[in-house]
Amino acid sequence: MPMLKQAFQKFRNTSDETLIGEFHRFCDANGFWLEDYSLYRAISLANDQAQWTDWDEALKDREPEALNNSRIVLDDEVFAQKFYQFIFFRQWRLLRRYANERGIAIIGDIPIYLTGDSFDVWCNQSQFKLDNEGKPTVVAGVPPDAFSQTGQLWGFPIYDWDKMREIGFGWWIERARFNLSMFDIIRIDHFIGFTRAWEVPFEDETAANGQWISVPGRDLFLTFRHTFGEVPLIAEDLGELTPEVEDLRDSFGVPGMCVLQFAFGADAKNPHLPHNYIQNSVVYTGTHDNDTVVGWYKARKKRKSGQPSPAALDHCLKYLTSDGSGIHWEFIRAALSSVSDIAIVPLQDVLGLDNKARMNVPATSNGNWSWRYRDGDLTAAIASKLTEMNELYGR
């Protein structure tokens, strides 16, 4: 932020008409979100970043006079916030162009839910299940299962899907349109949430006392198709894959996800085993939320003396005809040789790194997204092996 603030002060004094014109064109093209976002950020900073539900009533309720007064009083900060966004999207555009010119497509992610303290919720309160104070009446989560006796309480506000459908899913359309302008392919997070949502009363401390409510995902995706035609999507359909989820995914031709780390330890019908894949799918050796392949292998190989090895490990080695010495390459080969249209391999798995290089641990807030590869890690030997595999399997 200190560098951005310094850049903003220099921008205010610039005489570069080309740069000034580029900034104004950006503001004009993105005004449908940029005006509200910049005002939201400015008001938030002026209120010590208190949640918008704790702002003055007039601002909380978006009364026009209060908003106009804030735009005048906070004009300098609103201007700064627009500039920060201009810088980000200017750099993003250059990066994406650089990638596309080299045959590299970028996959972006749309999380299904939003945090309640966001300008999207503040600006679209009628489209969420909120009380008169702007606080959620129900929040998102998942019910109790074998992994958690109380379920998972995510705490995100839930959409008023009936209201959204009444007004033609306009918020979702604009969200998708903007993401399509940023990315080549969009991965839709928590795809199963487009068939049903687990609603938990806001005051509850666990997700146990929730209920399923239906979600008009089919109507939403029909609206997407009518608006955009065929959209390049990937469905993050991990979790409880019900017939309704499969029908929604397949009827719109959206590829689902297969994860090799989930494949082993059960029977031959496991959908994550390569012999069960269909062509319209995306296979991962592991996702950003998983161990690295080497980390996965080490965790299962490590056992007390005299204890049998885990069934998942025995199944894995037998299935891949591997002795484990090059387990990451065996996973990569299984992914690349499968019929899935797209195969994704995290760089940590290409490099054969253990969990010290793990990308993310779900439900934790520290130490994530910090791993970086270093100059010299990408050797000619690794490049040669990866190239050979891609050529061998037509990738």
Residue 47 parent element (H or E): none
Task: Using alpha carbons only, give the angle 208, 286, 308 rounded to the nearest 5 degrees.
Answer: 80
Q: DSSP states of 236-264 as a string?
A: ---S---HHHHHHHHHTT--EEEEGGGSS
Q: Say which of 189, 244, 250, 314 is annotated catalytic.
A: 189
CA atoms within 13 Å, Cβ hemisphere of 386: 16
Spatial CA neighbour of 362 closest among 164, 142, 205, 185? 142
Encoded amino acid at 358, one letter: R
Closest CA to 39 of 6, 66, 21: 66
Catalytic residue (one of 236, 291, 330, 349): 236
Helix (H, G, I), strand (E, B), or coil: what is residue 322? coil
CA 387 – CA 382 distance, rounded (Å): 8
Residue 189 bears catalytic tag: yes
199: amino acid identity, one letter: E
**Angle at alpha carbon of residue 350, lines to 346 and 351, rounded to 5°:** 115
- Among residues 378, 385, 373, 291, the alpha carbon closest in space to that of 333 is found at 385
Query: H-helix or E-strand containing 100?
Result: helix 75-101
Which residue numbers are catalytic?
189, 236, 289
